């Protein structure tokens, strides 16, 4: 199901023995656009400490209830590696975190979650050395600088300007993710301040030509005229596959959910 990061923010994270806290933001990989961690404000029970919660631990989310259920205990969270909120999340911290929870790494494989397409795994089937340092993974004890890390905050991207082939047209107001594989599928772009009668529109991640993290801008080869005439996005309505098909047809793009042949068949119907 496609959901909004804005709606996820503030959701209560419920562990097996009580609440952990509430979601304040998420970290995503700016290469694959996969949500890697939820940042959870723990409140008074853990002295307002922020902790990371991986989609590996998410059992399910209840649309409309603002609750994220995780397969963790409060004690596990209490004993988890301390996050330095004043620094970016380093690869070393990720390795320490994944080792602590016995989660597999998501990098180094052919799919969004390493060897899998979804953040699902069998903890009893993880080899003992699955998270040990290997030539394909960075080491914890080395004099070499750590590899480039591509984790970005969803809060950081909000407000980025959208640059089209012929000028600016709006700014990013939200992100839409799939709560099955935790892939970010769309940017929500608000055009109200850029042209009279503006609206919110969806721009698929695979239509983005590039992101300038220094200039706080997202670029696309789409034109302003095309985007102005595109189907509007109504955040009060769930995004279903019919809407996605209509949106992709409008832009003449293939859907991420199907191959080219199937897209051509659907468009011809």
Q: Check whether 267 has a pLDDT greater than 80.
A: no
- What are the residues facing 154 on neighbouring strands? none
- Between helix 241-251 and helix 260-268 the angle, nearest 10°, is 90
Residues of the chain with CATH 3.90.50.10: 158-268
Tokens of 200: 């919110």
Radius of gyration of the chain (CA): 20
d(CA 95, CA 90): 9
What is the location of CATH 2.30.30.240 in the chain?
Answer: 2-152
For domain 158-268, give the fold.
Photosynthetic Reaction Center; Chain H, domain 2 (3.90.50)
Tens-digit pLDDT profile for residues 137-183: 333 333 444 455 689 999 999 999 999 999 999 999 999 999 999 99
Least confident residue range of 8-12, 137-141, 213-217: 137-141
In this prediction, residue 124 carries a pLDDT of 57
- 120 pLDDT tier (thresholds 50, 70, 90): confident
Check pLDDT > 80 for residue 133: no
Report whether 203 contacts 189 (CB < 8 A): yes
Where does the pLDDT of residue 132 fall: very low under 50, low under 70, confident under 90, or very high at 90 and above? very low
Alpha-helical (H) ranges within 102-215 are: 154-157
In CATH, the number for domain 2-152 is: 2.30.30.240
Task: For the beta carbon of residue 145, count every other beta carbon within 10 angstroms.
Answer: 6
Q: Give 229-265 pLDDT, tens digit per residue.
A: 999 999 999 999 999 999 999 999 999 997 555 555 5
Please list, in sequence order, all residues whose beta carbon lies within 8 angstroms of the beta carbon of residue 252, skipping any fewer than 6 positions away: none
The H-assigned helical ranges of 12-167 are 74-78, 91-101, 154-157
Q: What pTM was computed for the model?
A: 0.87
pLDDT tens, residue by residue, 57-77: 999 777 677 899 999 999 999
């Amino acid at each position: 199901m496609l959901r909004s990061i804005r709606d996820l923010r503030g959701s209560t994270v419920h562990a097996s023995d009580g609440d952990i806290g509430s979601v304040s933001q998420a970290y995503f990989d700016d290469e694959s656009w996969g949500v890697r961690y939820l940042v959870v404000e723990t409140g008074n029970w853990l002295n307002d400490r922020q902790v990371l919660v991986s989609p590996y631990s998410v059992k399910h989310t209840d649309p409309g209830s603002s609750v994220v259920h995780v397969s963790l205990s409060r004690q596990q969270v209490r004993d988890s590696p301390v996050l330095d909120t004043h620094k970016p999340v380093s690869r070393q911290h990720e390795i320490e975190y994944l080792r602590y929870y016995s989660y597999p790494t998501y990098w180094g494989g052919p799919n969004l979650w390493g060897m899998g397409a979804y953040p699902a795994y069998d903890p009893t089937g993880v080899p003992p050395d699955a998270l040990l340092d290997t030539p394909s993974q960075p080491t914890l004890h080395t004099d070499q600088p750590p590899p480039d890390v591509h984790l970005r905050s969803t809060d950081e991207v909000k407000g980025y300007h959208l640059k089209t082939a012929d000028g600016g047209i709006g700014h990013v107001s939200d992100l839409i993710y799939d709560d099955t594989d935790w892939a970010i599928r769309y940017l929500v772009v608000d055009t109200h301040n850029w042209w009279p009668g503006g609206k919110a529109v969806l721009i698929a991640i695979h239509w983005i030509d590039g992101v300038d993290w220094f200039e706080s801008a997202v670029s696309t080869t789409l034109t302003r005229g095309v985007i102005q005439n595109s189907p509007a996005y109504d955040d009060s309505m769930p995004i279903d596959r019919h809407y996605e098909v209509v949106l992709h047809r409008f832009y003449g793009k293939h859907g991420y959910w199907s191959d080219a042949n199937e897209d051509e068949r659907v468009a011809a119907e």
